[in-house]
Amino acid sequence: MARRVFVHIGLPKTATTYLQTIVWSSRDRLREDGVLLPGLGRFDHLWSSRIVRDDPRLSKASEEHRTAWERLREEIAAYDGDALVTHEFFAAASAEQACRMAEQLAPAEMHVVITARDLLGLFTASWQESLKNRGTAPMSTYSREVSEDPRDVWNWRTLDLHLVLQRWSEAVAHERIHVLPLDTSAPRDEIWHRFAGLLGLGADAYDLSRSFPNESMGVVEAEVLRRVNEHLVAGKALGPARDRGMFIRTYLADERLVPRRGEKFWPQPDRVAECRARNEAALDYLRSHPVDVVGDLARLEIPAELPPRRTPDSVTDAEVAAVATDLIASLLTDVRDLSVDRPAAPAASRRGLLGALRRR
């Protein structure tokens, strides 16, 4: 049985994609360094999070997906070093589900790893991430309540570090909960160095060239995507989740809207105040409990004075139309390339949707 199992539970939008691309692209090297990354691929960790959280949709899933958590546990049981399980949706688990997970991994010692950031930045980033996942809620109404449903991810349930700490501390002693504050002003690889150090890895020995962050959209671009989603929901277009991920998230959001480098934005003033209150509760919890903070706790503080930025409700119809028409022109060019010329995919596009379609 593995000696320790590090369960990286997020939070969402705290460099999780960046860290996961590093470890999955270096899986063999991790094994050489004594850390097992179990499963057939990163989707096994996603499906394991759904199994742990008792997702009722599992009955309609493939056998490969339904057995993901069982297969991960079998690999961990057959290994005598440390193991790593990583997916940000584990953060939504209830206290009971977290306790059951710890019991299923016993006698291995479970450690919980939480990458975190100040709640104002996290809330802002998570709203646009919900749009990439077909969300339609305006920022003014996004995540107004704390969901009691472990299936709900884009909600205070997973965004509020205080709530996550309270639930998971019922399963794991505070000393085995490791919080890594994200320093958004530091070089990108700084969070990797602390994450690797926690796992006992030599961070400099790993190739970071294939890692990439999950980047955000500008304020106008986010509103464009939100309105597109409203039409898609009304028309029930792009049914399968895989297609939604490919066309909405990858192609439209990440490949067309994110590269525009639009304006950064804040929530409305009442939401900023809400973020401050929840953020302070999390900081109070960390100061009063023996949680292992790996880094500077001050990085989780929200500045008293914020630089001026727009809010999403300030976006005008004219701004939406300008981005949308430019987007249509880009889409037409892509359609022409695919349907008429069908050239070989350039190296830069091989990771994206167009590269995938051209290789069909």
Q: Is the pLDDT of residue 359 over 50?
A: no
- In angstroms, the CA 208 to CA 211 distance is 5
The answer to the question of residue 278 being in a domain is yes
My answer on whether 109 and 238 are in the same domain is: no
CATH of the domain at 111: 3.40.50.300
The answer to the question of residue 308 being in a domain is no
My answer on whether 140 and 257 are in the same domain is: no
**Structural domain that includes position 348:** 219-263+316-358
My answer on whether 52 and 186 are in the same domain is: yes
pLDDT of residue 54: 94
How many Cβ atoms from other residues are within 10 Å of residue 169's Cβ?
18
Angle subtended by helix axes 95-105 and 42-52, to nearest 10: 120
Cβ-count burial 240-269 (b if 16+ within 10 Å, e if not): eeeebebebbbbbbbbbbbeeebbebbbee
My answer on whether 240 and 131 are in the same domain is: no
My answer on whether 257 and 354 are in the same domain is: yes
The answer to the question of residue 188 being in a domain is yes
The answer to the question of residue 311 being in a domain is no
pLDDT of residue 133: 87
For residues 8, 198, 194 and 180, what is the CA-based torsion angle, rounded to 10 degrees?
50
Span 259-314, pLDDT tens digits:
999 999 999 999 999 999 999 999 999 999 999 999 999 999 999 999 999 999 99
238/286: higher pLDDT: 286
Average pLDDT of the residues in 40-59 = 93
Domain count, the chain: 2
My answer on whether 248 and 285 are in the same domain is: no
The answer to the question of residue 130 being in a domain is yes
* pTM, 2 dp: 0.88
My answer on whether 114 and 63 are in the same domain is: yes
My answer on whether 286 and 240 are in the same domain is: no
How many Cβ atoms from other residues are within 10 Å of residue 199's Cβ?
20
My answer on whether 242 and 287 are in the same domain is: no
My answer on whether 198 and 336 are in the same domain is: no
The answer to the question of residue 307 being in a domain is no
My answer on whether 72 and 147 are in the same domain is: yes
H-only helix segments in the chain:
16-25, 27-32, 42-52, 63-66, 68-77, 95-105, 119-132, 156-159, 161-168, 190-199, 219-235, 241-244, 269-288, 317-336, 353-358
pLDDT of residue 79: 96
Q: What is the DSSP letter of 359?
A: T
The answer to the question of residue 119 being in a domain is yes
Q: What is the DSSP letter of 216?
A: P
The answer to the question of residue 254 being in a domain is yes
My answer on whether 346 and 271 are in the same domain is: no
Span 96-129, pLDDT tens digits:
999 999 999 999 999 999 999 999 999 999 999 9
